[in-house]
Amino acid sequence: MPYQAPIKDMLFVMNELANLQAVSELPGCEDATPETAEAVLEESAKFVAGEIAPLNHEGDKEPSYWTKDGVITTKGFKEAFRQFADAGWQGLQHPTEYGGQGLPKLVGTPCVEMLHGANLAFALCPLLSDGAIEALLTAGSDEQKATYLEPLVTGKWTGTMNLTEPQAGSDLAAVRTRAEPQGDGTYKIFGTKIFITYGDHDMTDNIVHLVLARTPDAPAGVKGISLFIVPKFMVNADGSLGARNDAHCVSIEHKLGIKASPTAVLQFGDNGGAIGTLVGEENRGLEYMFIMMNAARFGVGMQGIGLSEHAYQHALAYAKDRVQSRDLTGSPSGVAIINHPDVRRLLMNMRSQTEAARALAYVGAALYDAAHHSADAEVRAENQAVYEYLVPVIKGWSTELSQDVTRDGVQIHGGMGFIEETGAAQHYRDSKILTIYEGTTAIQANDLIGRKTVRDAGKVAKGLIAQVRATEAELAKLEGADFAAIRKHLSQGAADLEAVVDYVVANIKADIKGVFSGSVPYLKLAGIVLGGWQMARAAVISQQKLDAGDGDASFYKAKIATTRFFADHFLTQSSGIRTSVIEGSAGVLALDIEQF
Amino acid sequence: MPYQAPIKDMLFVMNELANLQAVSELPGCEDATPETAEAVLEESAKFVAGEIAPLNHEGDKEPSYWTKDGVITTKGFKEAFRQFADAGWQGLQHPTEYGGQGLPKLVGTPCVEMLHGANLAFALCPLLSDGAIEALLTAGSDEQKATYLEPLVTGKWTGTMNLTEPQAGSDLAAVRTRAEPQGDGTYKIFGTKIFITYGDHDMTDNIVHLVLARTPDAPAGVKGISLFIVPKFMVNADGSLGARNDAHCVSIEHKLGIKASPTAVLQFGDNGGAIGTLVGEENRGLEYMFIMMNAARFGVGMQGIGLSEHAYQHALAYAKDRVQSRDLTGSPSGVAIINHPDVRRLLMNMRSQTEAARALAYVGAALYDAAHHSADAEVRAENQAVYEYLVPVIKGWSTELSQDVTRDGVQIHGGMGFIEETGAAQHYRDSKILTIYEGTTAIQANDLIGRKTVRDAGKVAKGLIAQVRATEAELAKLEGADFAAIRKHLSQGAADLEAVVDYVVANIKADIKGVFSGSVPYLKLAGIVLGGWQMARAAVISQQKLDAGDGDASFYKAKIATTRFFADHFLTQSSGIRTSVIEGSAGVLALDIEQF
């Protein structure tokens, strides 16, 4: 099923909810006018629909594969990546001095969503490069920047993140890979890394591995981890490629989904040691890794949204096309299944969650831009704090809901959905990694509780809730059953979220396990309420546009109806989740391990 | 991961919740004493663990495949099926006069659950034979019974259900397959059937296809469908096999899951006509098909429960084994991940839903037995009505939750869950068919609304709710926070279910599309409330056992804690669902098709 970027909704969210105009007035963002943004989105949409989306199902049928000379990617990927790089898409959000376009995150984000929507497995490679670029921009030496940034930003090379080891999944304290200083400023790296996305491939001449390892005298735990650059091929002073480094892909995984994306086991130092250079300071690797990780977490959230959109389009096309059974109100013969109420409900599930998650993520992107570009340090800090609160929600909630959405997509297809050639099943399989990599949903939820809620005693969360209340006041001014329902459920949602935030802050010390047993439900509640809030804002603005006779009335009416659906079917879950979090830890923790 | 039947919970549910003693006092069920049942379950558990479960992942890796001479099943399936048949498992619930064991459904059901839990793809074949046996017992002629029943009941042959055609998925009104009378009592069948489970295989010498087709002068729509027996090989008067019939498997599907189970496209009559005989009367095929279908729907519900149990055991073993990250309350080194609160929450999600669904299904099986064996016609009718109300709930709810449970199972495995060799992903893939075949969840929900709620104006539903209220009264007699929480949430659940039943009955005429747009949420609500009710009954009984110092205290305490969890985390969803059903149809139906 061909994917088409939902440009209309993207532009609506950028302009009306995320205030692109304000972003384009930030220092350094002046080029990102709404007109430019629209042109960029249209170009990106054309590119992904033409070049990237057609490879999505191909990559599932003919995955990338391992050979002793390296991984061969799915036919067509190499050429597509070359086009992607040559057109400048890798550098969209990166500095112009390294060959990027220097556009704000708010403009880059829809393009990223499109790329993921078109082809998750392909888009992972640029996502990882983005993380490597961010880390080097922040912590790289001048020489490292000079050597690696332009090739990464222009897509000449790609980047990887090497965290996981066989004995240490999410637990970086357990990292064992060694880095031995050679006295010449370089280190020899020894160890095994697993689950390395695009850890090897044939799309570019070189790969820049960023690797967590321990120096000989490093303290135990996460405070003794350093970050190293370990290129696949050494780089000569003139930028040309030198000797093959001792970093080899020994196998790739046979996975449930994203099959075109090679997931490598990388062996460092089996033949004398892989040569690496230290990034930033020794023992601060975790901090730098989090720079990559946070960029990647937002990106994985966009994967969830892009994939949900694709699954929705796929199911929608089928629902309009497939004729089966008469209409409930009577019809002379069978009707397209979109006329059947439960198919309609499933489609609205898919649509409303995708739109809500998109709205929240783009608003997050605008916060990031203000945090990075505002002239006022206080404004920067405020926006950064809110952005950081939202990152685990955007990552965790958007990816969890993508599993609901892709499941609904298969369901709409009926028996055909279970047949692989239909393609709906691929979305369902692909989605399952999104709640796992770059930190499972539980890890996002731990972050939401620990660093994002408890540390400031709920201040940022309460600030967001106050903004939700302001939207409630706007809703109160509007007439009709839709706005009354939206307001009622949003109001209850805000009260429920506030109660949960208060509970978390008040009980974390006395009952840490009890509080953390509600971490994922809290994250889900935050997603529903804050996503619902953005939908409510969208509905208010849509009504204002309708009242003013301004623009596409059908679009605005659909937005209001979709918000109404989201309120009735998702915001209504808030009180149950609140009870589960606040009263539900006893049942979670009651059993002894032997009783399981 | 080896599957072990959860015999302890099965026996508890059979004896304490479904009242096996009472079933064993029904006429014709005298052999099914609790002691016999326990022995049967233990034998069955041993058989499936030893012979069937080991083939589960094998079948996923090496699916059955098509050849021009017929489908070859996964290595080991043929021998396993022979053992299954020879040991008499196919005939467990079927009449002794045809070689069966004649045991009640309440005893057969746990054995069926085990078989599905061990190997869904394998167990599908017996499930379809069960349906064919039921149809022939009800509607077959004496000659047909004499010819086909014993081979089916003893597993010498297997049966299939041939409903679906390419142009007609769930819509049987659109069936086009033709049956032309030959004047000798036989018919020639012409047409194409798709999605035929075990439509061809090499496990038995013959296959008995039950095929829906139209005779030349049949009325249009579902009232013109007749049911035919079309054997793969004709059967001679002495029971030996005759000529190959003109019914051929032309391909099998490449599927998301249950890969060992061949899903066939069957071509009838391409070489002159497949010979068939009419089952029962002309144009009553739909009615007979529903006999098969209802047996199969209950069976598919058991698939959801068996698969959930397997996924739970799989994830539990991993959670106990996998050491990662320190304990939240502090520990010198990493701990098994079962100690982390969110892993615990996911395990309790899996466990509590599986136990609740099992309890409801077994209670349903006991209703079936009373409906079939009670000496009192009124008792039979009452039990039949309640059983029929529960069938769409058992099928729809147990299979939908199996998709949540298998998803949680992958999540607990983290990155390893996404790697196919781990096996957790297979459960996730396998589960997706369960909400589709034998009627999608929407079709179950339509049945729940139309035939099971509206037709009797909610009488059966209200009768069940009255029983829930009686359990609430029992809960009120017990002390402590667990029972208070269970009672509070069950009480609210009953009120919510009642409100929804009232809404459905009151609005079906005036707003049929609005009511049906809440059909699946209504089904889910019924599952949660009725499953929660059974758990509450289990908790009450467990407390009584504890008070009496009777039996395994650890088991009973775990049952109470699991019920508490189910109440806090699932029954708490009831009010939100009620609002979605009663107030949420506007958003479902608001968009014009062009607005999508």
User: Average of pLDDT values for B321-347?
Assistant: 94
Per-residue confidence at A167, pLDDT binned at 50, 70, 90? confident
Distance from C-alpha of A554 to C-alpha of A560, rounded to nearest angstrom? 10
Strands A158-162 and A207-213: parallel
Q: Is the dihedral of CA B252, B253, B254, B258 positive or negative?
A: negative
Q: CB distance B587–A435 less than 8 Å? A: no
Per-residue confidence at B109, pLDDT binned at 50, 70, 90? very high
pLDDT digits (tens, 9 = 90+) for B395-410: 999 999 999 999 999 9
**Closest partner CB to B596 (pick from A169, A347, A568):** A347
Q: Is the dihedral of CA A51, A53, A54, A57 positive or negative?
A: positive
Q: CB distance B415–A195 less than 8 Å? A: yes
Distance from C-alpha of A156 to C-alpha of A139, rounded to nearest angstrom? 21
pLDDT digits (tens, 9 = 90+) for A320-373: 999 999 999 998 889 999 999 999 999 999 999 999 999 999 999 999 999 999
Q: CB distance A575–B575 less than 8 Å? A: yes
User: Average of pLDDT values for A234-246?
Assistant: 97
Q: What is the share, in percent, of chain A residues with pLDDT greater than 70?
A: 99
Per-residue confidence at A293, pLDDT binned at 50, 70, 90? confident
For residue B450, what is the DSSP state?
I
Residue B466 φ then ψ, to 5°: -60, -35
Please answer whether residues B278 and B305 qualify as being in contact, where contact means their C-beta atoms are separated by less than 8 angstroms: no
Residues in chain A with CB shorter than 8 Å from the CB of B492 are none
Residues in chain A with CB shorter than 8 Å from the CB of B348 are 587-588, 591
Distance from CA of A341 to the nearest CA of B (A): 5
pLDDT for residue A413 is more than 70: yes
Residues in chain B with CB shorter than 8 Å from the CB of A344 are 517, 588-589, 591
**Closest partner CB to A414 (pick from B170, B557, B584):** B170
Phi-psi region of B175 (alpha: psi -120 to 50; beta: other; left: phi over 0): beta
List active site positions of A: 438
pLDDT of residue B169: 66
User: Average of pLDDT values for B65-80?
Assistant: 97
Q: CB distance B565–A584 less than 8 Å? A: yes
Residues in chain A with CB shorter than 8 Å from the CB of B338 are 593, 596
pLDDT for residue A377 is more than 70: yes
**Closest partner CB to A568 (pick from B418, B446, B580):** B580
Q: CB distance B324–A169 less than 8 Å? A: yes
Strands B70-72 and B65-67: antiparallel
Distance from CA of A552 to the nearest CA of B (A): 11
Sequence-distant (≥ 6) Cβ neighbours of residue A551 within 8 angstroms: A545
Q: Which of A133-137, A165-169, A245-249, A276-280 has the lowest mean pLDDT?
A: A165-169
Q: CB distance A575–B573 less than 8 Å? A: no
pLDDT of residue B362: 98
Residues in chain A with CB shorter than 8 Å from the CB of B591 are 344, 348, 558, 561-562
Distance from C-alpha of A124 to C-alpha of A116, rounded to nearest angstrom? 8
**CA proximity to B107, closest of B33, B163, B45:** B33
Q: CB distance B420–A254 less than 8 Å? A: yes
Structure tokens at B381: 């009718």
Q: How far is CA A543 from CA A362, A442, A549, in A?
A: 21, 38, 10
pLDDT for residue A169 is more than 70: no
Residue of B nearest to A445 (CA): B342
Report chain A's mean pLDDT, rounded to a whole number: 96
Q: CB distance A418–B436 less than 8 Å? A: yes
pLDDT digits (tens, 9 = 90+) for B407-457: 999 999 999 999 999 999 999 999 999 999 999 999 999 999 999 999 999
Please answer whether residues A514 and A585 qualify as being in contact, where contact means their C-beta atoms are separated by less than 8 angstroms: yes
**Closest partner CB to B596 (pick from A316, A416, A596):** A316
**Closest partner CB to B583 (pick from A170, A254, A568):** A568
Distance from CA of A533 to the nearest CA of B (A): 17
Residue of B nearest to A349 (CA): B588
Q: What is the share, in percent, of chain A residues with pLDDT greater than 90?
A: 95
Distance from C-alpha of B549 to C-alpha of B205, rounded to nearest angstrom? 55
User: Average of pLDDT values for B127-145?
Assistant: 95
- H-helix or E-strand containing B468? helix B459-476
Instruction: Determine the Cα angle at B290 with ends B508 and B516, to 5°.
Output: 20
Tell me how crowded residue B421 is: count the other CB atoms within 10 A of its CB. 12
Structure tokens at A233: 């091929």
pLDDT of residue B1: 61
**CA proximity to A388, closest of A315, A447, A300:** A447
DSSP labels, A152-214: HHTTSSEEEEE--BTTBSS-GGG---EEEE-SSSEEEEEEEEEEEETSS-SSSS-EEEEEEEB
Q: CB distance A596–B320 less than 8 Å? A: yes
Structure tokens at A115: 């790329």
**What are the b/e assignments for A532-552, b being 16+ CB within 10 Å?**
bbbbbbbbbbbbebbeeeeee
pLDDT digits (tens, 9 = 90+) for A204-238: 999 999 999 999 999 998 899 999 999 999 999 99
Distance from CA of A420 to the nearest CA of B (A): 5
B310 HSE (CA, 13 A, CB side): 34
Instruction: Give counts: helices (H), strands (E), chain B.
Output: 21, 12
pLDDT for residue A279 is more than 70: yes
Residue of A nearest to B320 (CA): A593
Tell me how crowded residue A185 is: count the other CB atoms within 10 A of its CB. 10
Residue A73 φ then ψ, to 5°: -80, 165
Distance from CA of B89 to the nearest CA of A (A): 29
Residues in chain B with CB shorter than 8 Å from the CB of A487 are none
Q: CB distance A575–B576 less than 8 Å? A: yes
pLDDT for residue A382 is more than 80: yes
Residues in chain A with CB shorter than 8 Å from the CB of B419 are 253-256
Which one of B432, B441, B503, B504 would you mutate to disrupt binding with A, by most A Cβ within 10 Å of its Cβ? B432
Report chain B's mean pLDDT, rounded to a whole number: 96
Residues in chain A with CB shorter than 8 Å from the CB of B565 are 584, 587-588, 590
Structure tokens at B17: 């919740």
Residue A581 φ then ψ, to 5°: -70, -50
Residue of B nearest to A587 (CA): B565
pLDDT of residue B134: 93
pLDDT digits (tens, 9 = 90+) for A302-320: 999 999 999 999 999 999 9
Distance from C-alpha of B122 to C-alpha of B314, rounded to nearest angstrom? 19
For residue A453, what is the DSSP state?
I
SS3 per residue for A273-284: CEEEEEECCCCC
Distance from C-alpha of A472 to C-alpha of B333, rounded to nearest angstrom? 48
Distance from C-alpha of B544 to C-alpha of B470, rounded to nearest angstrom? 16
Q: How far is CA B579 from CA A345, B496, B527, in A?
A: 15, 9, 17
Structure tokens at B5: 């039947």
**CA proximity to A298, closest of A349, A358, A353, A229:** A358
Q: Is the dihedral of CA B126, A414, A528, B503 positive or negative?
A: negative
Residues in chain A with CB shorter than 8 Å from the CB of B435 are 411
Structure tokens at B79: 């021998």
Strands B65-67 and A207-213: unpaired
> For residues B242, B244, B246 and B249, what is the CA-based torsion angle, rounded to 10 degrees?
140
Per-residue confidence at A1, pLDDT binned at 50, 70, 90? low
Of B438, B472, B479, B498, catalytic:
B438
